[in-house]
A and B are shown apart, each in its own frame.
Chain A
Amino acid sequence: MNKTIPELVEDFVKGDEAAFTELVSRFQKKIYTLAHHFLGNHLDADEVVQETFVRVYKKREDLKNVNYFSTFLVRIATNYAIDLLRKRKGHRSMSEDTASLPGEVQLDLSRRVATPSQMFEQKRLMDEINRALDLLPPKQRLTAVLHDVEGYSKSEIAEIFNCPQATVRSNLHIARMKLRKILRQRLRLKEQK
């Protein structure tokens, strides 16, 4: 039977490497998706995944006092992603950098089942949203990504950022208002349909 997350964490803290591997396997996709949304490219998202789990590995003693592994993990990932964003700002475009993926992986991405026009539209929409998100300060941007894209609740985000829920609500509202302004051309097009 599959072990629960608290059981795996307990085993990992006791030094069980297999438990750590299982935790990585269960959470890496979640962290990758979040990082990709926040940073907009594969290379940085990959780096966030690796660094997050390396940091968790190093901080395993701290896990004894952690109630929710997922929140602990996302907090580490978001902190690192914010640092990375600040470091990268101005050095790289936010578009998908598939050219950096290994050959086989590029091939797999090309096998996604979607018509060319759907793929084009999806890519254009993602680019527009990424460009809009890119204009927001990191905390507002991450709040919008966590809540509106990834579906985290405000209380979870407050726990991740270690701040009051009112701050999350305010950041989310400001972020949405700014996004609305930036995406207005797209919104107008939608209204005309």
Chain B
Amino acid sequence: MARKCPEYIENLSDYLDGGIDPELCAEIEAHLGECNNCRIMVDTLRQTVTLCREGKPETLPASLEKKLTGLLRERWRQKFGK
């Protein structure tokens, strides 16, 4: 029996990550070819993940990292007295 949209939606996250059984993957892809709502859902879900990745701030500048290490060590010295 064919699955309904909510059952496919439940698996869309795993589908996007590629960690899904190949049979179910083929089934989802066939469904996406027919169902506009699920296609929009998977597209926007994919964009959400992309936005989160794009939003990752730059890594700390080396000079800042050095200063943070210094601050941290100073606080340890205060805490442990070493």
Contacts and interface: CB of A to CB of B under 8 A. Distances in A.
Chain B interface size range:
35 or more
A54 B82 CA distance: 13
Contacts of A33: 57, 59-60
A176 B57 CA distance: 19
Interface in A73-124: 102, 104-105, 108-109, 111-112, 122
Contacts, number: 95
Contact of B79 (A54, A102, A112, A187): A54
Given A28-B72, A36-B57, A179 B52 contact: yes
B10 A173 contact: yes
Contacts of B58: 112
Chain A interface size range:
35 or more
Given A24-B69, A24-B72, A36-B57, A105 B45 contact: no
Contacts of A24: 69, 72
Interface of B: 10, 12-14, 17, 19, 44-45, 47-49, 51-61, 63-65, 67-69, 71-73, 75-76, 79-80, 82
